[in-house]
């Protein structure tokens, strides 16, 4: 194991094999809590996309390349990192600890350590209060790309706390960040939120034409600034109408598969809920959430499957598109499920369910996120035992009860 001192650097390939690693941090001191954050930065050590800032209020990057795991085995916080899944724009991960109570000069001890995915420690940087003075934020270490992936023990402090640290990375800290309230799947109608009066400078537009997202974590964008009017997004779920399943004594029978399309959403104003046929929560195109499911294809006989319309994508913050098996088949392996998203200009994004899990009947297919005037679409294709388990993974925080249709 490599025992590192402040300023020391090493090649990651000399410490472990592969691109997956665990990062563990512990700070012992008088403060009730020390927050630990991983900042995903570009090659110039600047924040370009705050979705790659992973901390207590955002526990996962879009494709899961950085994920906060919580405390374990002597670490107050752990992060699982897969460098191979990071987008090309993220070339540096900076691990920082901050506190609002006291300073790091009062810390008794602490460590930053790197481990293999199974928890075998390969490098450790230890620090003490004597290393600091009035600092309320400290960058402990970095994993960065320079010809190859490398690791550094930094120990750089900021007396100005989190704000000074973030500003040094080209970001900003909001004085009162809104916290989306936890609500039941269906929220009572409320007046439509007011759209921003002064839009940010236009982002570079991308002509999608026809894009297929094959692998988990792949992304595409829909530009919302093509005109002064809302740009609805049409979501279509389709599948092979006849599913083959095993019956008594191994006999194979054919039956119409019933898949349901739905979504979990959070709007920019913090209101959230679920749109799905189960429980007859079909949404609305004229009232919040401005997301509507057109029908429930129970028989599988509808040639166009099931359709969901995001009428005002400019008002959404996050939408998780999902499908679950209601009847007619045991799993997704024999229905050839596919999702298609189409914007108002006719550009298409296709997502195929090409890695089905025979043990689970709920699939989180794609995540849509509103980022600077565009909708980022990320292929998820993660399988769960049901709505509640998926919600626990993505952190919407809804309350779930059995439903029927």
Complete edge-to-edge strand list for the sheet that includes strand 53-54: 9-11, 148-158, 137-146, 92-98, 35-41, 53-54
pLDDT of residue 226: 55
Residues 35-58 have a mean pLDDT of: 91
Identify the band that residue 405 occupies on the pLDDT scale cut at 50, 70 and 90: low
pLDDT of residue 299: 43
Fold category of 210-394 in CATH: Lipoxygenase-1 (2.60.60)
Identify the band that residue 174 occupies on the pLDDT scale cut at 50, 70 and 90: low
pLDDT of residue 366: 95
Distance of CA 256 to the CA centre of its chain: 33
3-class DSSP assignment, residue 222: strand
Cα distance from N-terminal residue to C-terminal residue, the chain: 58
Complete edge-to-edge strand list for the sheet that includes strand 121-127: 2-4, 121-127, 109-115, 20-28, 75-82, 66-72
More confident residue, 331 or 180: 331
Residues 198-216 have a mean pLDDT of: 56
Whether the per-residue pLDDT at 199 is higher than 60: the answer is no
Locate CATH 2.60.60.30 in the chain. Answer: 2-168, 210-394
Residues 234-247 have a mean pLDDT of: 68
Whether the per-residue pLDDT at 136 is higher than 90: the answer is yes
Q: Which of 95-109, 261-275, 289-303, 390-404 shows the lowest mean pLDDT across its residues?
A: 289-303
Residues 300-322 have a mean pLDDT of: 83
pLDDT of residue 48: 85
Whether the per-residue pLDDT at 81 is higher than 60: the answer is yes
Segment of 139-143, 173-177, 323-327 carrying the highest mean pLDDT: 139-143
pLDDT of residue 310: 94
Mean pLDDT value across the chain: 83
Architecture in CATH of 2-168: Sandwich (2.60)
Task: Name residue 181's beta-bridge partners.
Answer: none
Q: What is the dihedral of CA 348, 354, 355, 359, to 10 degrees?
A: 100
Whether the per-residue pLDDT at 183 is higher than 70: the answer is no
pLDDT of residue 207: 38
Whether the per-residue pLDDT at 245 is higher than 50: the answer is no
Task: Name residue 351's beta-bridge partners.
Answer: 213, 339
More confident residue, 92 or 171: 92
Q: Which of 40-49, 96-105, 144-153, 228-237 shows the lowest mean pLDDT across its residues?
A: 228-237
Tens-place pLDDT, residues 345-382: 777 899 999 898 888 989 999 999 988 778 889 999 99
Whether the per-residue pLDDT at 58 is higher than 60: the answer is yes
Task: Name residue 292's beta-bridge partners.
Answer: 283, 309
pLDDT of residue 239: 85
3-class DSSP assignment, residue 371: strand
User: Residue 332's CB: how many other CB atoms inside 10 A?
Assistant: 27
Tens-place pLDDT, residues 95-109: 999 998 899 999 999
């Amino acid at each position: 194991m490599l025992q590192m001192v402040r300023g020391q650097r090493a090649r990651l390939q000399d410490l472990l094999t592969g691109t997956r690693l665990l990062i563990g941090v512990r700070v012992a001191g008088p403060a009730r809590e020390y927050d630990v954050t991983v900042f995903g930065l570009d090659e110039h050590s600047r924040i370009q996309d705050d979705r790659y800032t992973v901390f207590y209020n955002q526990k996962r990057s879009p494709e899961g390349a950085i994920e906060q795991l919580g405390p374990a085995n002597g670490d107050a916080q752990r992060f699982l990192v897969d460098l191979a899944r990071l987008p090309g724009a993220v070339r540096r991960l900076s691990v920082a600890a901050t506190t609002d109570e006291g300073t790091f000069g009062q810390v008794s001890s602490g460590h930053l350590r790197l481990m293999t995915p199974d928890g075998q420690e390969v490098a450790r940087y230890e620090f003490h209060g004597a290393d600091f003075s009035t600092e309320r934020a400290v960058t402990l270490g970095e994993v960065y790309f320079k010809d190859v992936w490398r690791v550094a023990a930094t120990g750089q402090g900021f007396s100005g706390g989190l704000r000074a640290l973030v500003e040094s990375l080209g970001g900003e800290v909001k004085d009162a960040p809104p916290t989306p309230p936890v609500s039941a799947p269906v929220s009572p109608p409320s007046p439509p939120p007011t759209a921003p009066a002064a839009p940010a400078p236009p982002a570079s537009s991308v002509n999608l034409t026809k894009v297929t997202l094959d692998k988990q974590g792949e992304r595409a964008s829909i530009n919302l600034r093509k005109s002064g009017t809302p740009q609805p997004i049409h979501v279509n779920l389709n599948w092979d109408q006849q599913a083959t399943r095993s019956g008594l004594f191994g006999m194979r029978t054919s039956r119409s598969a019933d898949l349901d399309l739905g979504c979990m959403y959070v709007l920019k104003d913090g209101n959230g809920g679920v749109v799905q046929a189960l429980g007859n929560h079909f949404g609305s195109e004229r009232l919040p959430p401005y997301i509507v499911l057109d029908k429930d294809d129970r028989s599988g006989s509808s040639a166009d499957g099931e359709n969901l319309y995001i009428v005002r994508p400019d008002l959404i913050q996050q939408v998780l598109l999902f499908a679950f098996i209601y009847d007619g088949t045991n799993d997704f392996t024999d229905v050839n499920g596919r999702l298609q998203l189409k914007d108002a200009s006719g550009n298409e994004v296709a997502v195929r369910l090409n890695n089905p899990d025979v043990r689970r009947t709920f699939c989180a297919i794609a995540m849509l996120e509103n980022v600077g005037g565009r909708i980022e679409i990320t292929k998820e294709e993660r399988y769960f035992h049901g709505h509640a388990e998926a919600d626990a993974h993505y952190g919407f925080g809804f309350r779930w009860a059995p439903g029927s249709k």
